[in-house]
Amino acid sequence: MAIFPPAERIWWHQPIHRVELVWIIVAFLWGLVMFFMMIYWHAVGRQNLSNETYRTTPEAYAAKTQAMIDKYQVRDNNGIPVVKPPAGSDVYLLGRVWMWYPQLEFEKGQSYRLHLSSLDLQHGFSLQPVNLNLQVHPGYEMVLTITPTSAGEFGIVCNEYCGLGHHTMTGKIYVVERPTGP
Ligand SMILES: [Cu+2]
């Protein structure tokens, strides 16, 4: 109990209990392992890493996103544009309080260069139920190549607390089957 001061004023001179010492060593070693694995995972494994990042500004990023919407909007979902950019193209998704904008439609098996940035605060891009998680920062534009492997509706939630409406910050990615040619 920490309500009363320790009986011995210089409590930090007491020897560390064996169990506690073992625990500290284990935790420290595990921390070291994970530190080096972080570097290792950049090169090995099927990670969803964004190894391509640029400096940007909220204005510039919003303009690029709007240009894509103007060009490739296919429909409207409760006032939010749904955009279907061509396979292989650059796709812009922005996070802001409190939405992921716009909604995207991809074709299964095609690859896209997905750009992510924030217009205001730090947000967390979390694609569900795939559980792909990335941090999204204002002033930085991250690019990652994604290839949807299954059709359906995927939700995006924000998993970095960003204020009062954080829990309402959602978005959507639709993945449709590739149309079979004539
Ligand atoms: Cu949030």
Q: Which long-range contacts (CB under 8 A, 24 or more apart) does 36-39 make?
A: none
CA of 171 to the centre of ligand 1 (A): 12
CA of 153 to the centre of ligand 1 (A): 21
Looking at residue 91, its pLDDT comes to 97
Looking at residue 110, its pLDDT comes to 94
Q: Where are the alpha helices (DSSP H) in the chain?
A: 18-43, 58-72
CA of 81 to the centre of ligand 1 (A): 21
Q: Which residues of the chain have pLDDT under 70?
A: 1, 46-50, 181-182
- Within 13 Å and on the Cβ side, how many CA atoms surround 3? 1
Looking at residue 59, its pLDDT comes to 96
Q: How far apart are CA 30 and CA 167, in angstroms?
A: 33
Provide the pairing of β-strand 170-176 with 132-136: unpaired
Looking at residue 47, its pLDDT comes to 67
CA of 30 to the centre of ligand 1 (A): 29
CA of 127 to the centre of ligand 1 (A): 13
Closest C-alpha among 98, 96, 102 to residue 77:
102
Looking at residue 170, its pLDDT comes to 95
CA of 125 to the centre of ligand 1 (A): 9
Looking at residue 48, its pLDDT comes to 60
CA of 23 to the centre of ligand 1 (A): 34
Residue type at position 130: V
Looking at residue 83, its pLDDT comes to 97
DSSP letter string, 10-24: -GGGSPPPHHHHHHH
The sheet carrying 112-118 orders its strands as 52-55, 140-146, 112-118, 90-96, 99-101
CA of 156 to the centre of ligand 1 (A): 11
